Every structure is written in C-alpha cells, then in structure tokens.
Amino acid sequence: MFCFKAVSERSTLVFSAIVSGVFALLGIVWGIVSGSLAILFDGAYSFVSLVLSLLSVTALRWAESPADKTYNFGRILAEPLAIAIKGSVITLVCVVSLVSAIKTIHNGGREVEASLAIVFSLFSLLCCLITWQFLKRSNAQHSSALILAEEKQWLMDSLLSATVLIGFLLSWGLSYTEYSSFAVYVDPVLVLLASLYFIAVPLRMMVQGFNEILLMTPSPSLRHSVHQAMHGLGIKPFQCKMAKVGSYLLLEVRIEIDKVEQMQGMQESVEKVLSHLPLEIKAQLFFQPKVEKLGPNSWHKAIH
C-alpha cells in the first residue's frame, strides 16, 4: 500500500511540475508582450514553482530510500528540508517583487495592454483553480506533506491570478473615466499588495520545515491522538517522545516490564493502534525492567 501511495505522490508532483512549466513559459512571454509586471511576477512564480516541484519529486525519492552505510537512519529529513527550501525561495521571490513594485510606483507607474492582460489572467485563474482542486483531492487521499506544500503553492497562484484579473478589470475601467491617469499605477500596486499578502504562506512553510528538521514536538492535536491511542495499551504520555517529519511520525516509547514475555507483540500492537493516523509510523520501543519504588515501610524493613 505504501508503494502505491509513493507512486501516486510522485505522479501528482510530476503533474504539478509540468503545469508549472507551462505557466512559467506563458506568463513570462505574455508579461513581456502586454508590458505587465504582475503577469511577469505570475510567470516568475510559476517558474520557481516548477523548480521547487522538481525538488519535491527528488525529496520524495530520497525520503523513500532505505537506510544504508552512508545514511544509517535513512533520508526522511529530505521532506521537511524541501519544504523549508520552498518557503525560503518563495519568500525571496515575494521580497524581490515587492521592491520592484515600489520602484515602478516611484518612477510613475507602468502602461499595460489591458485586453491582453485580462485574457491571460482569466485563463490563468481557471487553470490554477483546476490544478489546485486536483492537488487538494490527491492530498485528501495520500496525506502527503509535499503534496500539501504544492497545494498551498497553487492556492497562492489562484489567488494571485484572481487579484491580477480584478486589477486589470479595474485598470480597464479607469481608462474610460476622468481618473485614467491612475491606471498606470494599478499593475505595480497589484504586485505590491500580492507580495505583502502572500509572503505569510511561504514564511509559515519555511518555519514548519525547519521545525521538523529540528525534530520539534508535533501539534497538540496530533499528540493528543497518539496519547489517546497509547492509553489503551497502558502507556502514559510521559513514556512517549515524538516528532513529525514530513509524512512520518517518529515515536519513541519506554516501557517497564516484569518479564520478557511482555515484549512479545508489543511493537505490532503500537503500530496497530496508531494505524488510523495519516502518517507513516516509525516507532522504536525500549524495554526496561520494572523497578519498585521503595516507600518508608520498605526502608524500615531493609534497615532491620
């Protein structure tokens, strides 16, 4: 089942990369023809998405690789590393676009071929929404951290396309009014607002990726689910340590036992009670002899 999940994840990420490549080419060419900074930003974002989608495919392949002599614990940290890099690069794109927009506004705005820009923005919005919905459905089936990151990218692209479309319609409308002189500022203002708004998403992706690389404890809801499941086996929260790394849950459990027979089947039991979680479980169980705590009476008896 995991092999099927991995193949499906890879196919979804490859599809996202192909669509990103098409949009990158169209956006850059159309942005140059129409003279729109916003469409160029959209094309540049799609190009970055293409590179990052290919990075996701590579990260997934690394994460699936078994442990070897060089990587004794496998390469599962490749997933959060890819997410952290994605967040960092998209944040950089937003910052560069923000600076470019401010310079354009300071230099008196930018003339845009509104009709060409509106056609592209409408086409871009429809395609982005379709791709985003596809990734959303795929992630609902596979619960992949990498697909979720792709889904967030396409949601951002959909919102960007919608914002650009509304802006160009506004610019086209302004050109027929007494405020036509302000139409040249619509394009850079769109990029300015989009950059400020969208920068929060890649920043969160970046923080999430670095937190997982540092093996930070997972969200309270996930911890509660694990503790609730382990309670049925008589295992208390203080006996568990855990971290979410991409599509994996790393779990360390320390169990006190009276006799060796108690160890039998415990690994399978832990994996079974956690099978409902949308993560691949990597559990390590450490057994140690149960030590009776000596109370005051015990000390008294031991002395005498």
Which DSSP state fits 81? H
Q: Are 86 and 149 in contact (CB under 8 A)?
A: yes
The pLDDT tens digits along the chain (304 residues) read 334 344 477 788 788 878 888 888 888 888 888 777 778 777 877 777 777 777 777 777 777 777 778 777 778 888 888 888 888 888 888 888 888 889 888 888 777 777 778 888 888 889 889 989 988 888 888 777 778 878 887 887 788 788 778 888 888 888 788 878 888 888 888 888 878 877 887 888 889 889 988 889 999 999 999 999 999 888 999 999 999 988 889 999 998 888 777 788 888 999 899 988 888 888 889 988 876 655 555 444 444 4
Spatial CB neighbours of 273, under 8 Å, sequence gap ≥ 6: 229, 230, 232, 233
**Ordered structural domains, the chain, with CATH:** 9-214 (1.20.1510), 220-289 (3.30.300.130)
